[in-house]
Amino acid sequence: MKFDFLSTKKASAYEAIDSHQWYQWTWQLQHRLTQKEDFEKVFNLSSDEIKGFEQLKSIFKVSTTPYYASIAAQIEESNSVAKKNQSNFMNPLKRIMLPHVLEVEAGEQQMLDPLAEETHSHGQNLIHRYSDRVLFLVTDTCSVYCRFCTRKRFTGQDEGFINSNEYQKALSYIRSHPGIREVIFSGGDPLTLSNSLLDRVLSDIRSIEHIEIIRIGSRMPVVCPMRIDEDLCKIMRRYAPVYMMSHFSHPKELTLEARQALTLLVDHGIPVLNQMVLLNGVNNNAAIIQALNRRLLYLRVKPYYMFQCDPSEGTDHLRTTVESSEEIMREMWGHLSGLAMPTLSLDIPSGGGKTTLVPNFMVSASKGVREFVGWDSRKGIYRDPKVEMLKPSDVGDYEHEWEELKNAKNNLSIDHQMGLPIEAVK
């Protein structure tokens, strides 16, 4: 075994729970910790955390699975600083799951909808921001409400499956836009749905001829890996290609249970890519990111995005500066292979879409001549060839497809049921 994965131990509050129950994902969801008193059974809460609970705005719920709380408790038990009850110990997982007094303070930039998703919403649950893909929010329920969540305006409000009217409206919109080739199910967490419901949703989407790719974004492999079992993998496999976007943010989340869940997914032919958020005092260090990404890669999971934390309400204490995030990328450059390197991405607030932050390795540029400095300080010059740039002769075979993709968002078909474009019948 190349890496040690954390062998989890139930927190003492759960010692009486037998393994059969513990490893049922439904038991984990039914026994979520939601109140200060629940957490006090597992942790010594700091005064800032207690104040966080007391002053918590009603906008965003608190919830954690017993499994995830147990990992956080285990981190505390094994850390000598924490053991001495020293207030300077920052438990990375507690920072993700517990409200903090700083969450209720006015910060530098506090947005309820930082990605301006509501501007691009078609109904409450379908967001069409990019030309060829939509975000479909089939539930607002998550098993853990991450304090850095971007979608606080939506997540955890009603805690239920999308109502059938909205569901049908969303399906109708996707059907009537043949330019949509990808459907992304995202938070709330789609894997909080039962297998039969998930099967129905995937089947409905797969029956739309122009849908090529289905993506499922979920924190369940992290916070409730027992959710990933043979039955679920078979369902996902049935509607292939279905990609799983996991959200591991810290190497200590990669437990033996998480390893088993990821292995099951990949063994069933489901590609898994990981998206993480850079978080102050949680993972904002190259040593931590490399540890996470090398372990993920070893488990056949490609580290995909490393997101700059969105300026969602109550997240200033968790956000990193752009400069420090870029510095982490620069530090890792050259030491990690391209396979293990994530793409550092920032969502431009107010709906500008994703942009990529890449360290600048160019020293100078003049016409056709550029000088670069590499990760280990070696310099080199790249000279452009003095030749004409040619158009590949078979480009015509693909131009139509490309134009269609670029215009996908405006490309409407007739709604078969109503005989009218969907916008017209709203």
Task: Identify which range of 15-23, 140-148, 339-347, 369-377 contacts ligand SF4 by CB under 6 A.
Answer: 140-148
Residue 41, both tokens: 């059974």
CB of 39 to ligand SF4, least distance (A): 17
Q: Which of 32, 95, 147, 151 is catalytic?
A: 151
Pick the closer one to ligand SF4 by CB: 82 or 198.
198
Provide the 3-class DSSP secondary structure of residue 409.
Answer: helix
In this structure, what are the phi and psi dihedrals at residue 344, rounded to the nearest 5 degrees?
Answer: -80, 120
Active-site annotation holds for 23: no
Longest dimension (CA), the chain: 75
Active-site annotation holds for 149: yes
CA 112 to chain centre: 18
CB of 220 to ligand SF4, least distance (A): 9
Q: How many CA atoms lie within 13 A of 237 on its CB side?
A: 13
Q: Which of 189, 199, 310, 316 is catalytic?
A: 310
Strands 302-308 and 272-278: parallel
Query: Would you count residue 190 as binding ligand SF4 (CB under 6 A)?
Result: no
Active-site annotation holds for 147: no
Taking the chain, what is the end-to-end CA distance rounded to the nearest angstrom?
57
List 69, 97, 98, 149, residue binding ligand SF4 (CB under 6 A): 149
Q: How many CB atoms lie within 10 A of CB 106?
A: 8
Query: Would you count residue 99 as binding ligand SF4 (CB under 6 A)?
Result: no
Give the interface size with ligand SF4 as a residue count (CB under 6 A).
10
CB of 146 to ligand SF4, least distance (A): 3
Pick the closer one to ligand SF4 by CB: 133 or 152.
152
Active-site annotation holds for 133: yes
Query: Would you count residue 56 as binding ligand SF4 (CB under 6 A)?
Result: no
Active-site annotation holds for 142: yes
Strands 379-383 and 369-373: antiparallel
Q: Which of 14, 68, 145, 146 is catalytic?
A: 146
Contact of 314 with 110, CB cutoff 8 Å: yes
Contact of 159 with 140, CB cutoff 8 Å: yes
Query: Would you count residue 117 as binding ligand SF4 (CB under 6 A)?
Result: no
Pick the closer one to ligand SF4 by CB: 132 or 310.
310
Residue 184, both tokens: 């992304």
List 32, 129, 151, 215, residue binding ligand SF4 (CB under 6 A): 151
Active-site annotation holds for 354: yes
373: burial class by Cβ within 10 Å (0-12, 13-18, 19+)?
Answer: middle
Query: Would you count residue 94 as binding ligand SF4 (CB under 6 A)?
Result: no
Give the relative orientation of helices 286-298 and 322-332 as an angle to the nearest 10 degrees. 60
Positive/negative CA dihedral, 179, 182, 188, 194: positive
Pick the closer one to ligand SF4 by CB: 272 or 422.
272
Strands 182-185 and 272-278: unpaired
Task: Identify which range of 149-157, 192-200, 280-288, 357-365 contacts ligand SF4 by CB under 6 A.
Answer: 149-157
Query: Would you count residue 219 as binding ligand SF4 (CB under 6 A)?
Result: yes
Pick the closer one to ligand SF4 by CB: 151 or 409.
151
What residues does 134 pair with on adjacent strands? 183
Element (H, E) at 370: strand 369-373
Task: Identify which range of 125-133, 146-154, 326-334, 402-410 contacts ligand SF4 by CB under 6 A.
Answer: 146-154
Active-site annotation holds for 309: no
Query: Would you count residue 67 as binding ligand SF4 (CB under 6 A)?
Result: no
Query: Would you count residue 215 as binding ligand SF4 (CB under 6 A)?
Result: no
Rounded Cα gap, residues 145 and 65, in angstroms? 10
Q: Which of 153, 181, 302, 354 is catalytic?
A: 354
What does the binding site for ligand SF4 look like in residue numbers (CB under 6 A)?
A: 142, 145-146, 149, 151, 155, 187-189, 219
